[in-house]
């Protein structure tokens, strides 16, 4: 067998059909309609010359191959389940025709390896706050202290602030990192504007964390992103049963470089998790759309509740605001994350959380089950109070990830818990 697990799609197939069929050819597995799990550390190669070239590519010494020519040699480098997954995920990402996906054992590992690959000591990384609490900690503490990279936080919803920082550091900026909508305040960053400034004023690249919207609802390559990162743990995995991450890079050579940093520093996902993710992609669009439909009902319900001071949900943005314009420009829908403030403070917020029966008190998002947490004291507890206030959330703020349960039951659950205040 000299072919990889790749089935070239006919030209007339659209992305949905491609996403349902490509990356796996049943006739290379005795007709099995679902792929096997390659629980295997090492792989046989047809001849020594081919093995030599595969190693050169793993170390970034030779240009990467087309997906249908890839051959795994060792699971830390690659594995058939990783290749199938990477190929298929790419069909969900508009504008990724010439891109390459790198699969990671977590979202943070994807972000860290990208920084490790692209930044040297003395370079500048600019990031728009707020971002996920773990990313914030990595950027503010670990990367400056351990890699000597200067990290500058900026309010990326203020294009003038981004411009000022990029102008001041023009020659040194390597990465401009944004999360939009941001975690947890759902602030929209104008990707086109930030990409334009990044490319015009610096030699750097714009990296977008697209975890909240998923590849179904937002397409950062169409708005100037160079790299998209995901916590695959969230909607892509979708069943709260694994941790994973992805880098999708428009530049194949840079993707190969990031992959070789992953290979050589060692974070290796499991073949089983790749298999689960491949399965999850089959229902990604259906899950994201259903969760969004539920979230619209829940957000509307909360916005009318007497025990709720404030609801943040893209569909509820002021139609005259700049944020609304950005939302309409770059998102295909509001998604399934809601942030709201019950009346009162921390005590009232905890009363709600402790009395929910359908929502589970847990962090994470994008799963079948609806989740609730308090970002101030939970996911973002490491961020300073000043930065949290600047990012528009308070001690009482509750973040919801709306799942696939019945929307009326979800509203009734919130109503019961809010009545306990
Ligand atoms: C927006 C966002 N990016 C990245 C991460 C980190 O992903 P992981 O937990 O898979 O490392 C998270 C985790 O919650 C997240 O919400």
Higher pLDDT: 241 or 21? It is 241
Q: pLDDT tens digit string along 275-310? A: 999 999 999 999 999 999 999 999 999 999 999 999
Stretch 375-387: mean pLDDT? 92
Do 278 and 289 belong to one domain? Answer: no
pLDDT band at 98 (very low <50, low <70, confident <90, very high): confident
Pocket test for ligand 1, best of 104, 105, 107, 382 (most atoms within 8 A of CB): 107
Do 210 and 274 belong to one domain? Answer: no
What was the pLDDT predicted at 6?
Answer: 57
Residues with CB under 6 A from ligand 1: 106-108, 132, 134-135, 179, 183, 209, 211-212, 231, 233, 243, 245, 364
Do 290 and 393 belong to one domain? Answer: yes
Pocket test for ligand 1, best of 110, 114, 134, 142 (most atoms within 8 A of CB): 134
How many Å apart are CA 70 and CA 79, to the nearest integer?
10
What was the pLDDT predicted at 127?
Answer: 98
| Protein residue with its CA nearest to atom 10 in ligand 1 | 107
Do 115 and 80 belong to one domain? Answer: no
What was the pLDDT predicted at 129?
Answer: 92
What was the pLDDT predicted at 59?
Answer: 84
Do 62 and 121 belong to one domain? Answer: no
Q: What is the share, in percent, of the chain residues with pLDDT greater than 90?
A: 83
What was the pLDDT predicted at 250?
Answer: 95
Q: pLDDT tens digit string along 47-93? A: 999 999 988 888 888 887 776 678 899 999 999 999 999 988 988 99
Ligand 1, residue 111: give the atom nearest the CA.
4
Do 277 and 302 belong to one domain? Answer: no
Do 62 and 115 belong to one domain? Answer: no
Residue 242 lies in a domain: no
Between helices 159-168 and 191-201, what is the axis angle to 10°? 20
Do 145 and 193 belong to one domain? Answer: yes
Ligand 1, residue 243: give the atom nearest the CA.
10
Residue 319 lies in a domain: yes
Q: pLDDT tens digit string along 206-228? A: 999 999 999 999 999 999 999 99
Do 316 and 216 belong to one domain? Answer: no
Q: The whole model's pTM is what? A: 0.96
Residue 271 lies in a domain: yes
Residue 382 sits in a domain whose CATH number is 3.90.1150.10
Nearest Cα residue to 127 out of 152, 146, 106: 152
Stretch 2-31: mean pLDDT? 77
Cα of 132 vs centre of ligand 1, distance in Å, is 6
Examine the pLDDT at 5 and tell me if it is beyond 60: no
What was the pLDDT predicted at 105?
Answer: 98
| Protein residue with its CA nearest to atom 14 in ligand 1 | 364
pLDDT band at 8 (very low <50, low <70, confident <90, very high): low
Q: pLDDT tens digit string along 139-183? A: 999 999 999 999 999 999 999 999 999 999 999 999 999 999 998
pLDDT band at 25 (very low <50, low <70, confident <90, very high): confident
Residues forming beta bridges with residue 193, ordered by sequence position: none
What was the pLDDT predicted at 3?
Answer: 45
* 3-class DSSP string for 123-158: CEEEEECCCCHHHHHHHHHHHHHHHCCEEEEECCCC
E strands along 197-300, which residues?
Answer: 205-209, 227-231, 245-249
Would you say 111 and 245 are in contact if contact means Cβ atoms under 8 Å apart?
yes
* Cis peptide leading into residue 163 (ω within 30°): no
Residue 246 lies in a domain: no
How many Å apart are CA 89 and CA 85, to the nearest integer?
6
What was the pLDDT predicted at 307?
Answer: 98
Would you say 131 and 209 are in contact if contact means Cβ atoms under 8 Å apart?
yes
Cα of 256 vs centre of ligand 1, distance in Å, is 23
Q: pLDDT tens digit string along 104-123? A: 999 999 999 999 999 999 99
Burial of 253 (0-12, 13-18, 19+ CB in 10 A): exposed
Residues forming beta bridges with residue 104, ordered by sequence position: 245
The average confidence (pLDDT) of the chain is 94
Residue 219 sits in a domain whose CATH number is 3.40.640.10
Do 125 and 211 belong to one domain? Answer: yes
Note down the domain range covering 77: 1-99+251-282
Residues forming beta bridges with residue 320, ordered by sequence position: none
In order, the DSSP letters of 149-211 are -EEEEE-TT-HHHHHHHHHHTTTTEEEEEEESSPTTT-PPP-HHHHHHHHHHH-S-EEEEE-T
Cα of 80 vs centre of ligand 1, distance in Å, is 25
Examine the pLDDT at 34 and tell me if it is beyond 90: yes
Examine the pLDDT at 320 and tell me if it is beyond 70: yes
Cα of 133 vs centre of ligand 1, distance in Å, is 8
Stretch 240-268: mean pLDDT? 95
Pocket test for ligand 1, best of 112, 234, 365, 383 (most atoms within 8 A of CB): 234
Examine the pLDDT at 342 and tell me if it is beyond 50: yes
Examine the pLDDT at 421 and tell me if it is beyond 70: yes
């Amino acid at each position: 067998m000299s072919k990889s697990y790749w089935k070239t799609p006919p030209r007339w197939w659209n992305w949905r059909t491609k996403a349902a069929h490509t990356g796996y050819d049943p006739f290379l597995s005795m007709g099995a309609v679902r792929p096997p799990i390659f629980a295997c550390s090492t792989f046989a190669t047809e001849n020594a010359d081919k093995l030599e070239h595969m190693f050169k590519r793993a170390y970034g010494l030779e240009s990467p191959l087309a997906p249908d020519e890839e051959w795994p040699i060792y699971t830390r480098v690659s594995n058939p389940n990783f290749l199938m997954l990477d190929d298929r995920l790419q069909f969900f990402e508009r504008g990724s025709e010439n891109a390459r996906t790198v699969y990671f054992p977590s979202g943070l590992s994807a972000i860290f390896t990208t920084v490790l690959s692209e930044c040297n000591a003395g370079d500048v990384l600019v990031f728009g706050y707020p971002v996920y609490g773990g990313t914030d900690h990595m950027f503010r503490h670990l990367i400056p202290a351990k890699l000597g990279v200067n990290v500058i936080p900026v309010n990326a919803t203020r294009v003038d602030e981004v411009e000022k920082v990029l102008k001041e550091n023009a020659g040194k900026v390597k990465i401009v990192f944004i999360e939009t909508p941001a975690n947890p305040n759902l602030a929209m960053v104008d990707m086109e504007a930030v990409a334009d400034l990044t490319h015009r004023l610096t030699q750097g690249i714009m990296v977008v964390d697209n975890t909240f919207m998923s590849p179904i609802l937002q397409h950062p390559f169409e708005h100037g992103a160079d790299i998209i990162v995901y916590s695959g743990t969230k909607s892509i995995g979708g069943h709260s049963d694994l941790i994973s991450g992805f880098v999708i890079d428009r530049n194949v050579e840079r993707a190969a470089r990031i992959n070789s940093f992953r290979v050589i520093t060692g974070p290796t996902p499991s073949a089983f998790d790749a298999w689960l993710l491949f399965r999850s992609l089959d229902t990604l669009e259906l899950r994201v759309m259903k969760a969004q439909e539920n979230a619209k009902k829940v957000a509307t319900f909360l916005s009318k509740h007497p025990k709720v001071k404030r609801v943040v949900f893209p569909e509820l943005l002021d139609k005259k605001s700049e944020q609304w314009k950005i939302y309409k420009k770059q998102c295909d829908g509001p998604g399934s994350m809601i942030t709201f403030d019950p009346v009162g403070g921390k005590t009232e917020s905890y009363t709600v959380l402790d009395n929910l029966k359908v929502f589970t008190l847990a962090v994470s998002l994008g799963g079948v089950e609806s989740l609730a947490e308090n970002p101030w004291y939970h996911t973002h507890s490491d961020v300073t109070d000043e930065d949290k206030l600047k990012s528009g959330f308070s001690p009482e703020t509750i973040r919801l990830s709306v799942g696939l349960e019945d929307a009326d039951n979800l509203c009734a659950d919130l109503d019961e818990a809010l009545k306990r205040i």
